[in-house]
Amino acid sequence: MKEAARPEDVLAFADAVLSGETNLNANLANIAALLGQFLPRINWVGFYLLERASGDWVLGPFAGKPACTRIAPQRGVVGAALGDRQTLVVDNVLEFPGHIACDDASRSEVVIPIISQDVVVAGLDVDSPEFSRFAAPDVELLEELCRRLGTHWQSFHWY
Ligand code: SME
């Protein structure tokens, strides 16, 4: 059983992470671990980042099983959501045309874009072994987290 956390506690922890450090890798790693620790009934959580040269979405920090490293534009749930610049909730991934199965246990999924200076720079992807796992208030919490990440994105650096 995971530790329960209130949404405001998750956001407060995320704010502490984001205000204390500007390394993108470190911050995304800690936020993936935070969500992995506190979101119940999920089997994978992590980030896909825009590779500007190819337009592909490339695997970033995550918590879960090893995952597909590269997703082409408009492919899978990730490519669809990020290409459309919109949160995409898939209640049954087995019925989603083109779903990319990284973990066979996944049954539902949500992908939320992270937007910085009007560009979708990355996405947050969460998978669950339960059908229809993702609804408010969890989706709203994840969207708020992604808004805050987008706001800080320009101040982050990789090295
Ligand atoms: N299922 C995703 C691929 C990423 S994994 O879930 C980690 C998709 O269809 O794009």
Q: Is 2 a domain residue? A: no
Is residue 58 one of the residues assigned to a domain? yes
Query: In this structure, is residue 1 part of a structural domain?
Result: no
Write the CATH number for 106.
3.30.450.40
Report the length, in residues, of the chain: 159
Is 35 close to ligand 1, i.e. is its CB under 6 Å away?
no
Instruction: Give residue 35's domain range.
Output: 7-155
pLDDT over 80 at 100, yes or no: yes
Which ligand 1 atom is the nearest neighbour of the CA of 102?
5
The predicted model gives 12-21 an average pLDDT of: 90
pLDDT in tens, 24-54: 999 999 999 999 999 999 999 999 999 999 9
pLDDT value at residue 2 = 66
Average the pLDDT over 56-79 and give the result: 97
Does residue 101 fall inside a structural domain?
yes
Pocket test of ligand 1: the residue of 74, 75, 102 to mutate, having most ligand atoms within 8 Å of its CB, is 102
Q: Report how many domains make up the chain.
A: 1
**1 pLDDT tier (thresholds 50, 70, 90):** low
Task: Determine whether the shortest distance from the Cβ of 58 to ligand 1 is under 6 A.
Answer: no
| Ligand 1 center to 12 CA (angstroms) | 28
**Does a structural domain hold residue 15?**
yes
Q: Which of 71, 3, 60, 69 is nearest to 26 (CA)?
A: 60
Q: What is the mean pLDDT of the chain?
A: 95
- Say if 74 falls within a structural domain: yes
Following DSSP, what letter does each residue of 104-116 receive, concatenated? TT--EEEEEEEEE
In this predicted structure, the answer to whether residue 78 has a pLDDT above a threshold of 90 is: yes
> What is the residue with the minimal CA distance to atom 6 of ligand 1?
102
